[in-house]
Amino acid sequence: MSECTHNCESCGENCAERQMKPEDFLEKPHELSSVRKVVGVVSGKGGVGKSLVTSMLAVLLNRRGHHTGIMDADVTGPSIPKAFGLHEKASGMGEAILPVRTKTGVDVISINLLLENESDPVVWRGPVIAGVVKQFWTDVIWNDVDFLFVDMPPGTGDVPLTVFQSIPLDGIVVVASPQELVEMVVEKAVKMARLMNIPILGIVENMSYVECPDCGRRINIFGESHVDEIAARYGLPVLAKLPLDPALASVCDKGVVELFEGDWMDSAADAVEALGKPS
Ligand SMILES: Nc1ncnc2c1ncn2[C@@H]1O[C@H](COP(=O)(O)OP(=O)(O)OP(=O)(O)O)[C@@H](O)[C@H]1O
């Protein structure tokens, strides 16, 4: 069709493009990989704590006895190695790449574990970045991983779309902060997930409140949260409300996120763990 806009949502034609199923774009994992469930962690923009939430989920599921991995698909803003204090380089095995294992046994791959100098900026265009993320799936040996968490590139542009299409995600966790236009973030994530036929496990609100160290009162520094009503509107659970907590910032900065304490993310971990149980 010459007038095709490639926007199937606003078109009723039953053309070849519409008939192409999301599975048609899926890439095969490395032949030596074994990954049981893949969970994408998405956000509307950078800096809302997507990497922190990804790290906490991987650490919690690991603490529960599952072998977890993190694919840092946020190629232009890779923060996972820093949070885990990883500075060594990923090694190769023939044509394949082996992830780096953290102190407690989480397998991690990130562009920072491959670059000669981890402070080099990644100034690549979208298709190159998307190609790197695909290789994190096709060329990395994910050995016996129960839950692989994908720290997705922020937003709903070209790169996240490619990740959505090429990696077989079993579920999505949406991270939002109260100062964002949460409704828009959630709506976009829901639409993208529906197009790809991937269930959204729920929403994590980060930086939800600050707890007064003296009296324990919760202060909504970014104003009143609307996450509950928005989640209800889309029929999604709110999996966690994470406080803005200097201790969390500190464990990330010091590279010891594996030592974090707090039960805020337990329900989110339950939701992910449930994916692995027979239905
Ligand atoms: N709840 C929190 N309490 C304290 N600090 C936090 C919290 N959430 C995130 N931070 C800090 O904010 C910074 C950004 O968080 P993070 O890297 O997880 O965000 P992101 O959404 O992944 O951002 P980017 O897309 O830019 O990588 C980090 O330094 C992190 O330690």
User: Which is more confidently placed, 211 or 192?
Assistant: 211
pLDDT of 181 reads 67
- Name 89's Cβ contacts closer than 8 Å, sequence gap at least 6: 100, 113, 114
| pLDDT score recorded for residue 25 | 80
Residue 185 or residue 34, greater confidence: 34
How far is it, in rounded angstroms, from Cα 119 to Cα 116? 9
* pTM of this structure: 0.89
How much of the chain, in percent, has pLDDT values that exceed 90? 53
What mean pLDDT is predicted for residues 261-266? Answer: 95
Q: Is 154 in the pocket of ligand 1 (CB under 6 A)?
A: yes
Q: Which of 45, 51, 122, 156 to mutate to test the pocket of ligand 1 (most atoms within 8 A of CB)?
A: 51
Q: CA-based diameter of the chain, in Å? A: 66
Higher pLDDT, 88 or 180: 88
Distance CA 61, CA 273 (A): 7
Q: State pLDDT tens for residues 230-239.
A: 889 889 999 9
Which residues lie across from 268 on neighbouring strands?
Answer: none
Higher pLDDT, 123 or 240: 240
* Distance of CA 214 from the midpoint of ligand 1 (Å): 25
State the residue for tokens 């992910």: 272
237-263 mean pLDDT: 95
Question: Comparing 50-64, 86-100, 252-266, which segment has the lowest mean pLDDT?
Answer: 86-100
Q: Minimum mean pLDDT among 28-37, 48-57, 193-202: which range?
A: 193-202
Cβ atoms within 10 Å, residue 117:
6
Please tell me the distance from the alpha carbon of residue 147 to that of residue 272, in angstroms, as a whole number.
8
| Residue % of the chain over a pLDDT of 70 | 87
The closest-lying atom of ligand 1 relative to the alpha carbon of residue 83 is 31
Say which amino acid occupies 192: M
Band of the pLDDT at 121, cuts 50, 70, 90? low
ipTM of the complex in this document: 0.95
Packed helices 266-275 and 50-63: angle between N→C axes, nearest 10 degrees = 70
| 41-45, 71-75, 172-176: segment of lowest average pLDDT | 41-45
The predicted model gives 99-124 an average pLDDT of: 85
Top-confidence residue, 110 or 6: 110
Name the residue with the closest Cα to ligand 1, atom 14.
Answer: 47
The average pLDDT across 9-38 equals 73
Please say whether the beta carbons of 152 and 193 come within 8 A.
no
Reading the block at residue 10, the tokens are: 């606003």
**CA distance between the termini of the chain:** 42
Contact 33, 141 (CB under 8 A): yes
- Strand pairing category for 91-93 and 210-211: unpaired
More confident residue, 230 or 13: 230
Q: Give nearest CA residue, ligand 1 atom 9.
A: 49
Rounded to the nearest whole angstrom, what is the distance from the C-alpha of residue 248 to the centroid of ligand 1?
9
pLDDT given at position 8: 52
CATH homologous superfamily of 26-274: P-loop containing nucleotide triphosphate hydrolases (3.40.50.300)
Which residue do the tokens 């027979």 mark?
Answer: 278
pLDDT digits (tens, 9 = 90+) for 131-169: 888 999 999 999 999 999 999 887 767 778 888 888 999
Residue 203 reports pLDDT greater than 60? yes
Residue 26 near residue 167 (C-beta atoms within 8 A):
yes
Question: pLDDT grade, residue 21 (50/70/90)?
Answer: low
Between vectors from CA 96 to CA 145 and to CA 116, what angle results, nearest 5°?
105
Element housing 151 (H / E)? strand 145-151
Question: What is the residue extent of each domain of the chain?
Answer: 26-274
> What rounded mean pLDDT belongs to the chain?
86
